[in-house]
Amino acid sequence: MTKESTREHKFIITDDLYFEGRISDYSKKIRAKVLSLSDLDKIEEDSQHNIAKVLFYISRGELESRHEEIHNFLKLHPSVMSSFIIKAPIDYTGFQALSIEEELFFTNVPEEAPVIFLVKAVVNAFTSLQMVVDKFELQKRINVSTNEISKLTRIGISLANEKDFTKLLRDILNSAREISNSDSGSLYLVEKDEKGNPRNLRFKISALDLNSDEFILPINKKSIAGYVAYTGKQLNIPNVYELSGKEEYKFNSDFDRMSNYYSKSMLVVPMKDHHDEVVGVIQLINRKKNFHLKLTLDQLKSNHTLEYDKYSEELVMSVAGQAAVAIQNNNLVHEIETLFEGFVTASVSAIESRDPTTSGHSFRVAQYTVGLAEAVSSIGVGRFKDLNFNPAQIKEIRYASLLHDFGKVGVREKVLVKAKKLEEYELDLIRWRFHFIVKDVEAKLAQKKIDYLKKHGNSGYSEFEQSIQLEYEMERQKMEEMVRVIAQSNEPSILEESNSNFLEEISKLSYQTTDGNQISLLQPREFGFLSIRKGSLDFDERREIESHVEHTFQFLSKIPWTKELKMVPAIAHGHHEKLNGGGYPRGLSAVEIPVQAKMMAIADIFDALTDKDRPYKKAVPLERAFDILKMEVRDQHIDGDLLDIFIESKVYEKTLHKRLEG
């Protein structure tokens, strides 16, 4: 309300029947409407929407008899600013005993005082009232501005902290509606083509919560939202149904017809980023006096719907600016997350490409571990009833699981993919050695035949040849049995005791060739590998494989993880630890192992057991895998309560079935 408009609402309440006649020469100077005390209801009507300045010029007798009535009127009408001039001697102080506040009394004017004196008192009283009104209006504006600044600050903080993009868009629209007192509104986002040029506007949300699918609008001047996106300028339309027709844009009333709504005033503003590029459009509809007041269809068509003023434009533009930054930041965060997700996926693929036999292992372990974490969060009983993982912690667990074997890039490939105790070429070398020995034995026996013929001729040769052949067969069979045991011992399965003893005997044997050289049937290195009790790796190779956990930790520790993902290295570091302290690489006890790592340990073992056949092991049935895992619990390697949740919740089912179907 302007100062000029407030001056028009001036009233003089008097019991002097001749007052207007006495001041008629000064009426233009005073410019006030004169009323009797019985006409207070007229002031009531006027003061509903405006501040009224009311000067009471009444006699002392009328004041003293009707002060309670006047007091109650002023109490019920806070928008009435009043002052009192009492028709009484200058020294009259009787008003001090009345119910009306003493500060409302301006002065006394004796009845015999000149008119000019009365006029000056009236003018001065209204001037004083105007100062009070101006102070009130100023304070009101300060309060409103402070409130709006507080709102904008709160909105900025809220938008900056919101990570859920759908909720962010809804918060943007609701914030713009609230700060402008808009009954409804919509939000559109700009979509770009492959070259980064604006392509179209996509409708995202409406304040009316309509069950409407997203749709697109071309970015041009034909539609209201398209015009704003195209030009980057806001539109403030008092009544969309009263457009002149000369505008480049048109209002589409289909929305009103389909939703039983009535759009009248409209404010449409662009959301611009720091490059001054339009990233979206906020369309606000039907400004009203009270944001929380729900308007009926008839009220929307009436004067209950207000035009958007300049101040509303400025406030909404401020929100739009903050919204554009929030959207851009959210998009940037999403792009970074997508980039990192791609990096993680590529890293895991690179790891698994070095060992095709374990392809998919890291992805499955991540699925199993995340499933177990979600199951733990959903239970309300037992040891873990108070353990709940939020979405950020679930993401942390997933990344740790995906990257838990990344350190294998630091393990030599021949060790990483080693399927048997000896490489195939090494076993072939042993076979050729025994083949050579058999041939050398054959050559020695052939020489014996020649020597016999030279010395004895054909006499008794047939019997001699048979004995030589028998000797050859015995040597050949002996060599073949040795090769068979060696080949059998080369498998990564548990080494049988009999084979172990036989290997030791073979390692002690040597053979002297026809040219006098001594050949060991098994070299010490060969015997060392073949004597491995279980698996295909010797002590040094197993240490090298186990070092992948430390390599993983060192690699992951170099990544500048966000606060929400800071536990990724520690979780991955602990997935081979055992509750009894016998795990590696640090030999942690149960209380020192993060619960996320305990869950990953179960997932890791389960996948290793149930994965497809590998060169060094066969896949085991589901029930057998559970039995083995329960044995791990009895040996205090893994957590029994977590295993129970894993089995009971069947977190493995979806992934396992999908893999089997594949």
pLDDT given for residue 388 in this prediction: 92
pLDDT given for residue 174 in this prediction: 85
pLDDT given for residue 260 in this prediction: 87
Confidence of residue 7 (pLDDT cuts 50, 70, 90): very low
pLDDT given for residue 351 in this prediction: 79
Question: Averaged over 309-332, what is the pLDDT?
Answer: 83
Burial 301-322 (b: 16+ CB within 10 A, else e): eeebbeebeeebbebbbbbbbb
Confidence of residue 659 (pLDDT cuts 50, 70, 90): low
Counting residues of the chain whose pLDDT is more than 90, the rounded percentage is 41
Q: Which of 61-70, 110-119, 156-165, 428-437 has the lowest mean pLDDT?
A: 156-165
pLDDT given for residue 291 in this prediction: 85
> For residues 104 and 81, what is the distance between their CA atoms, to the nearest angstrom?
9
The answer to whether residues 657 and 400 touch, using CB atoms and an 8 Å cutoff, is no
Residue spans of beta strands (DSSP E) within 231-272: 235-237, 266-272
Which of 242, 162, 157, 597 is closest to 396 using CA atoms? 597
For residue 561, which phi and psi values (nearest 5 degrees)?
Answer: -65, 150
pLDDT given for residue 197 in this prediction: 83
Say if residue 547's pLDDT is above 90.
no
Say if residue 349's pLDDT is above 50.
yes
List pLDDT tens digits, range 120-149.
999 999 999 999 888 887 877 776 666 666
C-alpha pair distances (Å), 229 with each of 72, 188, 208: 56, 9, 22
Q: Which of 4-13, 257-266, 487-496, 527-536 has the lowest mean pLDDT?
A: 4-13
List pLDDT tens digits, range 63-100.
999 999 999 999 888 888 999 999 999 999 988 889 99
Question: Averaged over 595-624, what is the pLDDT?
Answer: 84
pLDDT given for residue 2 in this prediction: 41
pLDDT given for residue 4 in this prediction: 40
Q: Which helix (H) or strand (E) holds 502?
A: helix 497-508
Q: Which of 132-141, 229-238, 519-528 has the highest mean pLDDT?
A: 229-238
> For residues 439 and 474, what is the distance between their CA atoms, to the nearest angstrom?
13
The tally of CA atoms less than 13 A away on the side-chain side of residue 585 is 18
User: Rounded to the nearest 10 degrees, how much is the dihedral formed by the CA atoms of 546, 549, 555, 559?
Assistant: 180
Question: Averaged over 628-637, what is the pLDDT?
Answer: 94
Q: Which of 149-153, 292-296, 493-497 has the lowest mean pLDDT?
A: 149-153
> For residues 314 and 583, what is the distance between their CA atoms, to the nearest angstrom?
64
3-state SS track over 129-175: HHHHHHHHHHHHHHHHHHHHHHHHHHHHHHHHHCCCHHHHHHHHHHH
Say if residue 5's pLDDT is above 60.
no
Say if residue 3's pLDDT is above 50.
no
pLDDT given for residue 617 in this prediction: 64
The answer to whether residues 162 and 168 touch, using CB atoms and an 8 Å cutoff, is yes
- Give long-range contacts, CB 8 A cutoff, 24+ apart: 393-397: 393/564, 394/370, 395/564, 395/565, 396/564, 396/565, 396/567, 396/568, 396/571, 396/596, 397/369, 397/370, 397/373, 397/571, 397/596, 397/599, 397/600
**Integer distance in angstroms from the first to the last C-alpha of the chain?**
74
Question: Averaged over 314-333, what is the pLDDT?
Answer: 81
> For residues 411 and 297, what is the distance between their CA atoms, to the nearest angstrom?
73
Three-state DSSP class for residue 345: helix
The answer to whether residues 655 and 367 touch, using CB atoms and an 8 Å cutoff, is yes
Say if residue 413's pLDDT is above 80.
no
Confidence of residue 152 (pLDDT cuts 50, 70, 90): low
Counting residues of the chain whose pLDDT is more than 70, the rounded percentage is 91
The answer to whether residues 420 and 491 touch, using CB atoms and an 8 Å cutoff, is yes
> For residues 87 and 60, what is the distance between their CA atoms, to the nearest angstrom?
6
- Burial class from Cβ neighbours inside 10 Å (0-12, 13-18, 19+) for residue 520 reads middle
List pLDDT tens digits, range 42-54.
776 654 557 889 9
The answer to whether residues 292 and 212 touch, using CB atoms and an 8 Å cutoff, is no
pLDDT given for residue 6 in this prediction: 39
Q: What is the mean pLDDT of the chain?
A: 86
Question: Averaged over 312-329, what is the pLDDT?
Answer: 82
The residue with tokens 């057998």 is 624
Question: Averaged over 545-568, what is the pLDDT?
Answer: 87
Question: Averaged over 500-528, what is the pLDDT?
Answer: 89
Three-state DSSP class for residue 570: helix
pLDDT given for residue 87 in this prediction: 94
The answer to whether residues 571 and 332 touch, using CB atoms and an 8 Å cutoff, is no
pLDDT given for residue 412 in this prediction: 74
C-alpha pair distances (Å), 186 with each of 207, 212, 283, 289, 608: 6, 12, 5, 20, 52
Say if residue 195's pLDDT is above 90.
no
Burial 617-638 (b: 16+ CB within 10 A, else e): beeeeeeebbeebeebbeeebb
pLDDT given for residue 656 in this prediction: 67
